[in-house]
Amino acid sequence: MHADLPRPDADALRHSDTLAAHLRAEILHGGGTIPFSRFMELCLYAPGLGYYSAGSTKFGGAGDFTTAPETGRLFAATVAGVLAETLRQLDGRARVLEIGGGSGAFAEVALKRLLQLDALPDRYAILEPSADLRQRQRERLERSLIPPVFELVEWLDRPFEDEWDGVLFANEVIDALPTPRFTVRHGEVLEEHVALDGNGDFVRVDRPADVLLTAAVRHVERYLEAPLPDGYRSELLPQLPYWLQAVAGGLRSGAMLWFDYGHPRREYYQPQRGDGTLRAFYRQRMHEDVLRWPGLQDLTASVDFTALAEAGTGAGFDLAGYCSQASFLLGNGIDRLLAEAEARTDEAGVLRLRQELKRLTLPEQMGERFQAMAFSRDVDLGAAFLLGDLTWRL
């Protein structure tokens, strides 16, 4: 029990109990266990019940966590400048595809900034699996954008099925992919599953890993040039290369730009990080009881940026750059945008803007924990990563 976690209200608990009953039924139907990745998938995305599929507030101060676009306008406006430069390099019809649009905050600011820069795409698509979030995004953008710009926006059920040119953008998406958990015991790779104890509560158990997960763990060990310690437990996304190619679809020319929190592989799988990076977020509090209150809390794991680099280059793209979020934002003019915004606001507004900048760039906040990585094909993103290159750490 976590005494510092505020208890959900009765309606929320009933909602969680409904999802928990669904999980128990699947566990029993599955022979007594399900892989943790499946448990995470249902907790986050079960239709009408999962964390991202139900109607509670997720983002911002009233939700469970705050993403960079929710802090204010500076993040999205800065990134939009890079999008604009990339779109200008693509002759003809270019698109932007945002994966997981959150509250719609990024799309709102980015589209307004692209309009100012005379660099609007031909289409701005949001690939959003949550019907609830999709509706919130639509209402927000319809309310805040002028009609000709709003008409560029569309929502997709699946990635583009035709060939396309443009930019794929994703902020804090990979960390929410349902991740397998593994442990190494006496040299054997085991996969973490979820089972039920005698009281019907969720518990973790280990089962022999399949060929795909075992091969992925061995790949990590070869990279590290050493076996993982006995009893070591962590996460790994063997499906990441296939997922990345699926969401990129027929992207011919353009770029992919990813922001997330994580580490290069040698830091991710350090011996002292022997229980991985998995955690839960609930009401702005981070904790480790990931089996608690299914559907009411976000479950997330850090990103192995070396794995992301392998997936992107394996899909036929060039690694355009890798740096901290602070380096990316400072290297692409966030200080200039701050000065312009300060000139248009009052003293209280200036204070809010400076707090926003600190949150986005200070090392102890988002600045170093979050990182940016880009891939390109037939466009040059080199200028966007001139400050603070970290590719040598991959």
Choice between 51 and 218, residue whose per-residue pLDDT is larger: 218
Assigned domain for 222 exists: no
In the predicted model, what is the mean pLDDT of the chain?
92
Instruction: Name the token pair of 75.
Output: 């993040």
Assigned domain for 126 exists: yes
For 361-387, how does the pLDDT look when each residue is reduced to its tens digit (9 = 90+)? 999 998 899 999 999 999 999 899 999
* Residue 98, beta-bridge partner list: 126, 169
Assigned domain for 342 exists: yes
For 220-277, how does the pLDDT look when each residue is reduced to its tens digit (9 = 90+)? 999 999 999 999 999 999 999 999 999 999 999 999 999 999 999 999 999 999 999 9
**Coil, strand or helix: which one is 390?**
coil
Question: Nearest to residue 340, comparing CAs of 73, 22, 11?
Answer: 73
Q: What is the mean pLDDT of residues 34-59?
A: 84
Assigned domain for 154 exists: yes
By residue range, what is the domain housing residue 376? 68-176+241-266+302-393
Q: What is the pTM of this model?
A: 0.93
Residue 335 CB neighbour total at 10 angstroms: 14
Q: What is the mean pLDDT of residues 291-300?
A: 92
Choice between 130 and 85, residue whose per-residue pLDDT is larger: 85
Q: What is the mean pLDDT of residues 135-152?
A: 96
**Dihedral sign for Cα atoms in the order 282, 287, 293, 299:** positive
Highest mean pLDDT among 48-52, 99-103, 370-374: 370-374
pLDDT of 12 over the 70 cut: yes
Q: What is the mean pLDDT of residues 345-358?
A: 89
Question: Nearest to residue 96, comparing CAs of 26, 170, 147?
Answer: 170
Q: What is the mean pLDDT of residues 175-199?
A: 96
Assigned domain for 294 exists: no
Q: What is the mean pLDDT of residues 183-212?
A: 96
Cα 250 to Cα 219: distance, rounded to the nearest angstrom: 28
Assigned domain for 171 exists: yes
Assigned domain for 275 exists: no
For 311-341, how does the pLDDT look when each residue is reduced to its tens digit (9 = 90+)? 999 999 999 999 999 999 999 999 999 999 8
- Let me know the angle formed at the C-alpha of 131 by 27 and 169, rounded to the nearest 5 degrees: 100
* Number of domains present in the structure of the chain: 1
**Coil, strand or helix: which one is 299?**
strand
pLDDT of 305 over the 60 cut: yes
pLDDT of 109 over the 60 cut: yes
Residue 379 CB neighbour total at 10 angstroms: 22
Q: What is the mean pLDDT of residues 149-174?
A: 96
Choice between 138 and 48, residue whose per-residue pLDDT is larger: 138
pLDDT of 55 over the 70 cut: no
- Give pLDDT, residue 59: 45
- Give pLDDT, residue 48: 87
- Give pLDDT, residue 284: 73
Assigned domain for 24 exists: no
pLDDT of 60 over the 50 cut: no
Q: What is the mean pLDDT of residues 347-353?
A: 88
Cα 194 to Cα 186: distance, rounded to the nearest angstrom: 22
- Give pLDDT, residue 52: 86
Which CATH number characterizes residue 93's domain? 3.40.50.12710
Reported confidence tier of residue 1, pLDDT bands at 50, 70, 90: very low
Instruction: Name the token pair of 134.
Output: 């999709």
Cα 244 to Cα 307: distance, rounded to the nearest angstrom: 11
